[in-house]
Structure 1
Amino acid sequence: MRLICLADTHNLHHEIPIPEGDILIHAGDCTDGGTWNETRDFLNWFSSQPHKYKILVPGNHDFFFQKKENLEKIPKNIHLLIDRGMEIEGKSFWGSPMIPGKAGWAFNRERGAEIRTHWDLIPKNTDILITHTPPYGILDEIGSGIKLGCKELAEKVKKVQPKLHLFGHIHHSAGQTSYLGTKFYNLSLLDERFRIMHDPLNLVL
């Protein structure tokens, strides 16, 4: 099973070559302002991709997905994961768009108890975890060296130990690493100046 994974495309999806695969995963910030026009353009593009399964976890720029009434406009062949999961060929996927902090972004939750309620929903048998935010201390540094990942998520990941943890959000820290049996991938395609700098992750599961 081949996974094609990307994040933080910010309306530049038409400029990104997408490899063939079985599952196409976008880990958030498909738009920049979260408007309907931006979102519609992305959804039309995403739903037209040939991959058998298409999974979308929104990001902090994707305001459109916060309103329940808007979710009816999502094409039926896109699996939108907002604090929910799905199983594909015996593998358990779970997705959540929540990010820590107090700023006025989409899917924003205060650090501590508030955001922990979302991570508590992640099942113990999760194989592939998809979040927009990275866990604290793992591929989460901005250019100044400050770590912006989520401590509460890091605690949960240690307990669940998924095979893969896919995320984006922190453009500066795109890359991969491994820790306690989990492979972590920051899928951000753009740098901090919103230039395309990376290719989608092409991963055989």
Structure 2
Amino acid sequence: MNILHLSDTHSQHRRLTQLPDADILIHSGDFTMNGSEQEAIDFMNWFCDLPYSHKIFICGNHDACLYEAKIDGLDENVHYLCNSSVVIDGVKFYGVPMFMEDCISDRQTRNYVAIPADTDVLITHCPPYGILDFDDGINYGSAELLARVEEIKPRLHLFGHIHKQHGVKKDGLTIFSNGAIMNGDYTNFNLPNLIKI
């Protein structure tokens, strides 16, 4: 199974042409810049039209308009994950968004604890602490998320958020992918991460 991973497109998704072939396209959040409904609708229209067998997306901290939203009308092969899962060809994908309302309470910690132990591909917006999360002298990842990842050992953990740490790293049984597509100063695109599991 080939997975194409994007994150942090920040309303520049229509500039992404000639994306590589893959079985599943996954966007791990921050598809808007200002968190407006118009940006979110434009992204979903673009995303649904892409020629991939399955497409999965979650929300990042910029995608505030979708906090507690119920999304209807997506194509059957497009999956919005919000502390929820989908199984595709026997592989369990689980997505945890990053809404600021959850981060300033204990809800985000509870969301991480609730990640199912049988998750094969974990999709979050926030990185785990110490893994592709370093910028300006600070590790921005979540220690609670790292602890849960170490417990469940998913085959793949996809995230974004920290633009300067775009890349892929294998640690133990898990492949980690920071798919932040916009570079650190939002001027150019990084190449999307293509991962085989």
After TM superposition, the score normalised by the length of structure 2 is: 0.93
Matched with 1:89 is 89
After superposition, what is the alpha-carbon deviation per residue over 1:142-171, rounded to whole angstroms, capped at 9, x for unaligned?
Answer: 1x1211110100000000000110000010
- Mark the CA change 1:23 to 1:141 in structure 2 (over 3 Å): closer, same or farther: same
Indicate if the aligned counterparts of 1:129 and 1:162 stay in contact, CA closer than 8 A. yes
Identity among equivalent pairs (%) = 37
Count how many residue pairs are aligned between Structure 1 and Structure 2.
196
- Supply the distance in 2 between the matched residues of 1:164 and 1:95 (Cα, whole angstroms): 12
- Supply the distance in 1 between the matched residues of 2:103 and 2:74 (Cα, whole angstroms): 24
Matched with 1:29 is 30
CA RMSD in angstroms, aligned pairs only = 1.7
Matched with 2:13 is 13
Alignment of 1:29-178 (within 5 A): 29-69=30-70, 71-72=71-72, 74-98=74-98, 105=100, 108-110=102-104, 113-142=106-135, 144-178=136-170
- Supply the distance in 1 between the matched residues of 2:74 and 2:161 (Cα, whole angstroms): 22
Shift of 1:72: 2.9
Shift of 1:67: 3.6
After TM superposition, the score normalised by the length of structure 1 is: 0.89
Residue ranges of structure 1 left out of the alignment (5+ in a row): 100-104
Matched with 1:204 is 196
Shift of 1:202: 1.6
- Supply the distance in 1 between the matched residues of 2:185 and 2:73 (Cα, whole angstroms): 31
Secondary structure in structure 1 of the residue aligned to 2:146: helix
Residue ranges of structure 2 left out of the alignment (5+ in a row): none
